[in-house]
Amino acid sequence: MNQRAGKSIILAILVIAVVIPLVVTNKYYMNILIMSGIWSIVALSLNLILGYTGQVNLAHGAFFGIGAYASALMMLKLNMNFWLALPLAAAIAGFFGFLIGLPALRTRGSYFAIGTLCFNIIVTLIVDRWEGLTEGARGLMGIPGPSAIPLPWGGEIAFKTMAAQYYLVIGFLFLTIFVLRRIMQSLVGRTFRAIRGNEELAEALGIHAMRTKLLSFTVSCFFAGVGGALYASYIGFLSPEITDYHVSFDALIYVMIGGVGTIVGPIIGTLLFVTIPETLHVAAEFRLLLYGLILIVMIIYLPRGIVGWVKDLRGRKTKQEVSWKQ
């Protein structure tokens, strides 16, 4: 029943997502939706290692940034096409995830969190100082958008309008959801959950914990890279801040608020946190303060996020119904 409920929610979101540009034409709102789409990909990818595999990765901003910079640099310096640059950038982010995972995933719990946080700070420093490559604090400008896709029967799909950009991002969001669902519904996903549940037991049952965590982390970083590449081409400008640990914490908050270990949770969390501050125009300094407060309150009262809370409510309801029948 739960899986069917999940499926119908995702279907509903899909339909709404496809119809939205027909209703919303306001550029300002379209921008918020596109940003929500990009950050949803990042939050979902973080959720794979954080929510499903139970490893608190605080370097997601770095992998997002690596994807963004890799894609932008390949397009700017090598004149590479967006459609080639995006998968390559994602692969580069995934490869960095693999390399960092090799030592970092040997540690557990808070040590892994601290290790990844350190890595994030190093990445931001390198991006900031390696001016020959990244232009440092000046930032990379004029990053091209996706080139038009020619259609076999003439004409082309261009990505000039907001609606087209939106569909591009939503397309990649659905690809991400599709891949994550396939993984989590398979035996591979079961081993991820086993690591989260009890790593020592998983090993005693013949599961190669290191290999499993490394796989989850690599895939997670790959999709962070996808988000980064989309961001680079949509905004057209990158500066070192986009790689820094604030990005990691933002993504962490989206996942935690929405609901760890679910597909819908990170999307809901992202929608809330990208939309509300934008519309309320909360001052940036207060934003982080507020985030911290919300996070503390959530961890104490709703540790499984909004989706977990709704599930609990529904569970209680069905239990009541059962006792009524008895």
Partner 1 sequence: MEAMMTIQGLTRFFGGLAAVMDLSLEVQSGEILSLIGPNGAGKTTVFNLITGTLLPTRGRVLFQDHEITGSRPHETTVRGIARTFQTTSLFDDETVLDNLIVSHRCRTRMGLWDALLQTGRSREDERRCREKAEEILNFTGLRERASELARNIPQESQKRLAIALALVTEPKLLLLDEPMGGLTEEENIGMMDLIRKVRTRGISILLIEHKMKVVMNISDRIVVLNYGQKIAEGAPQEVGRNAEVIEAYLGAGYAKT
Q: What is the DSSP letter of 134?
A: H
> What ranges make up the beta strands (E) of the chain?
149-150, 156-157
Tokens of 220: 């997670």
Confirm if 160 and 152 have CB atoms less than 8 A apart.
no
Q: How far apart are CA 237 and CA 257, in angstroms?
A: 29
**By CB under 8 A, is residue 215 in contact with partner 1?**
yes
User: Kind and range of the H or E element at 46?
Assistant: helix 27-47
Which of residues 1, 23, 204, 280 is near partner 1 by CB under 8 A? 204
Q: How far apart are CA 103 and CA 66, in angstroms?
A: 19
Q: Does 87 interact with partner 1 (rule: CB under 8 A)?
A: no
For partner 1, the binding residues in 154-183 under the rule CB under 8 A are 179, 182-183
Per the DSSP assignment, residues forming a β-bridge with 117 are none
Q: Judged by CB under 8 A, does residue 207 bind partner 1?
A: yes
* By CB under 8 A, residue 88 contacts partner 1: no
CB closer to partner 1, 54 vs 240 = 54
Total residues at the site for partner 1 (CB under 8 A)?
25
CB of 209 to partner 1, least distance (A): 7
The one among 194, 229, 238, 298 contacting partner 1 by CB under 8 A: 194
Closest separation in Å from C-beta 307 to partner 1: 15
Amino acid (one-letter) located at 23: V
- The DSSP result for 200-215, as a single string, is HHHHHTT--HHHHHHH
List the one residue from 157, 201, 289, 297 that touches partner 1 (CB under 8 A). 201
- Our finding on whether 141 is near partner 1 (CB under 8 A) is no
* Spatial distance between the Cα atoms of 48 and 143, rounded to a whole number of angstroms: 29
* Calpha distance 221→66 (Å, rounded): 10
Q: Site for partner 1 (CB under 8 A): which residue of 206, 285, 323, 324?
A: 206
The continuous run of DSSP H or E covering 295 comes out as: helix 284-301
Q: Give whichever of 24 and 188 is closer to partner 1, judged by the CB atom.
A: 188
| 197 near partner 1 (CB under 8 A) | yes
- 128 contacts partner 1 (rule: CB under 8 A): no
Interface with partner 1, residue 198, by CB under 8 A: yes
Residue 39 beta carbon to partner 1: minimum distance, rounded to whole angstroms: 24
Q: Does 27 bind partner 1 (CB under 8 A)?
A: no
Here the tokens at position 308 are 């977990």
Q: Which of 40, 45, 120, 191 binds partner 1 (CB under 8 A)?
A: 191
**Binding of residue 188 to partner 1 (CB under 8 A):** yes
Angstrom distance (rounded) from CA 99 to CA 92: 10
Q: How far is the CB of 193 from partner 1 (least distance, A)?
A: 7
Cα gap 117→244, rounded to integer Å: 10
The two tokens of residue 262 are 């679910």
Q: Does position 302 bind partner 1 by CB under 8 A? A: no
Q: Examine residue 94 and tell whether it contacts partner 1 (CB under 8 A).
A: no
150: left (phi over 0), alpha (psi -120 to 50) or beta: beta
Q: How far is the CB of 206 from partner 1 (least distance, A)?
A: 3
Least distance in angstroms from the C-beta of 65 to partner 1:
25
Q: How many CB atoms lie under 10 A from the CB of residue 125?
A: 13
Q: Which of residues 225-264 bind partner 1 (CB under 8 A)?
A: none
**Residues of this chain that bind partner 1 (CB under 8 A):** 179, 182-183, 186-191, 193-194, 197-198, 200-209, 215, 219
